[in-house]
A and B are shown apart, each in its own frame.
Chain A
């Protein structure tokens, strides 16, 4: 507004009279998609670290139940009070930390990083747009996210602490715990969901409307396709959870019984409620979001990996069309598989059979995606830089995660595996060494575009190898624990359930050690990230990786408005090593 009045007053056309925005306008209340992306990214990384620290405390408790937590125990007692008496983790605190670990990792770390940060920064650049379609909505989306995060964070310090009913917040448990943590959780979720909705509308509209001339649908980089489908998943799957959150909030604060059955007893006494509600209804509404959500977690990572593989094999991606149609199929199918999380609720065999079938069908496009990436490696002269290492590791890690999902999808085997550590192993393989590796790859890959400097390769490789080791040492043993029948969500790590000499219990200790190793492995990354902003090796050109997509055709770092001249697209996204071309890559904007 201000800027337009300003130029108008000076008769317009005065390009030289540039209005330098102040600090607040440039960094806090910015509408520039790149700065919003960076805001999202930094906030999400902080939450990622925070969520990890919660888990480290829990891992200590699992390995050494009832012993004071080293280093932070006394601090926890000071800020949280009785739940951390003598620096020990009470079961209530364990439940809070567990619920918030899941919530923070999914809704405050991975989704904002994968969709909010990378989507914001990269999508407009890759489609050749000057910004998002609705820059101010974009800003609002970040602010809602930030507020939601604050509400979640504050809930740790209220009497009784944060929510304790798991990230799935099943009723009636979530309503029966007599503290206000759950109410904070639900209000926080309403903000986070609204943020995602605003983001999703914006992304989809941007991709539909703001593609540069010549950027036809089949010339879109796969990353953009992945974000496009992710946008639809968020758009359509989140609202039912918003509705469910409102209903659970009513149960919590206004005494309704949406999800509370008749005759519910809490603490040995009949609850003072009208009853007649349905706990299953919550589970349906939750998982209707929950399953599409897992694809929200994975698809952006896949998109990043695809870009990096094409770039570092110097080959075109094998089966671009199959990738596109598979990702669309996944998007569609992910809306009709949700109840495979509910086989044990007694929905009935017919319904279980239906969801088992759709679950098996959806694994086909997932396998196609992975296969295309593997085949793309074949015969390439691969550059093993840090982004590529992370991208390569993504493939087998996601493979393990996906394949271990199949026994969970069959309801006969799921009856045994459900709610065991096996499930924890399964989805962490997908999201931790899977998605997080994809996101790390993306950070190393686009850092030069954001700052004009590379991140340090040596530190990057240390980060990579120790993370790979740590991730596997943490999550692989969980399959063994789960197969041995160990339940998840046990505040004492299952000692009350098992003979204490059982191998599964011993693995608890080794997993905890591995988790510490994994934590330490992130230190080189943190150092690298901040030091490289000023001290990293300077890039030689605007296109340091010699990539083909439009994001590399911008000045470094891209200015407000992104492109020096309006880009025009002449070719597909991955023309590497085309026969007869002068160089081994032909950018999308290059005419001949």
Chain B
């Protein structure tokens, strides 16, 4: 038994099955990310006026690393180009060129994930500190003489943990104060980058830049992690087709080309999500 139109287009619809399938799947993905974006908007709109961290529940501004985000945007867009080139190479029957473009795409994908995990790590090691005297700082923490290492997410502190582990004092290096408009750099010059000892008893809230800290982090991590998961899965599938899966090229080049087209469509979608995500979450 054979299923019709697995790789030949059906004349009246002009599509082969997998192409219909992937478009339908992407429609559901739009609803998935759409729901998350809507949640982002709603949470942000209903946040009280004022800016985090000064205002505890206010929405933060300029917290995310824009150069890194921009770099990743460029990386992903390039990968969208290379994946099209890979497909086009197949259309022209050039399997070697196909493989080269796929490798480029994969490098972009893993580059993106690498940069992203650096970004995550930076957040996990960054702290919000509130003192009982009303002072609010963000900065880096040193407990018992140790900075959190690379596996920072496994070594996250908060007030509860300090109490439980009877840590009486921590070292805290505050971030340089944000330059106000007009007096750029003036503040930075005067600021010394030194750790200050803070007693546990002075602290009213200590929380890393992790989901439970604030809904901004919660939604930021949820959306970007889900997107990252899509990048990862897409990369795995592409790695499969670039290497072991490309055997099919010899037995059924047409179907193989179609498969790359379908993967490419998925990849464009992943790219597109980022293109929304970057301005909405990083820039606005």
Chain A interface (Cβ < 8 Å from any Cβ of B): 129-135, 137, 197, 200-202, 204-205, 208-210, 235-240, 242-244, 246-247, 250, 254-258, 262, 273-278, 281, 285, 288, 560-561
Contact = CB atoms under 8 A, between A and B. Distances in A.
Interface of B: 1-5, 10, 13, 15-18, 20-21, 24-25, 27-29, 31-36, 39, 42-43, 46-47, 57, 207, 210-215, 218-219, 222, 226
A148 to B, nearest CB: 17
A344 to B, nearest CB: 20
Contacts of A210: 3-5, 17
Given A201-B21, A256-B211, A278 B43 contact: yes
Would you call the interface of chain B mostly helix, strand, loop, or mixed?
helix
B218 A257 contact: yes
A133 B17 contact: yes
A130 B31 contact: no
A130 B218 contact: no
Nearest to A201: B24
Nearest to A237: B31
B31 to A, nearest CB: 4
B213 A274 contact: yes
B64 to A, nearest CB: 18
Given A236-B31, A250-B218, A278-B43, A133 B57 contact: no
A209 B8 CA distance: 11
B218 A258 contact: yes
A201 B25 contact: yes
Q: What 4 A-B pairs come out closest when comparing CB atoms?
A: A561-B1, A240-B35, A255-B212, A239-B32
A202 B57 contact: no
Contacts of A246: 222, 226
12 contacts: A130-B4, A134-B18, A209-B16, A210-B3, A235-B27, A236-B31, A237-B31, A240-B32, A257-B212, A258-B219, A278-B43, A560-B1
Contacts of A132: 3
A240 B226 CA distance: 14
A239 B27 CA distance: 10
A239 B46 contact: no
Of A131, A256, A273, which is in contact with the most chain B CB atoms at under 10 Å from its CB? A256
A135 B18 CA distance: 12
Nearest to A131: B3
Contact of B31 (A240, A257, A274, A560): A240
A247 B1 contact: no
B5 A258 contact: no
B42 A281 contact: yes
Contacts of B222: 246-247, 250
A330 B78 CA distance: 42
Given A133-B5, A197-B28, 7 more contacts: A132-B3, A201-B24, A201-B28, A208-B13, A235-B24, A247-B222, A277-B215
Nearest to A559: B1
A129 B207 CA distance: 58
A137 to B, nearest CB: 8
A204 B210 CA distance: 40
B28 to A, nearest CB: 5
Contacts of B34: 239-240
Contacts of B213: 274
Of B5, B35, B57, which is in contact with the most chain A CB atoms at under 10 Å from its CB? B35
B57 A130 contact: no
B15 A274 contact: no
A278 B35 CA distance: 14
Contacts of A130: 1-4
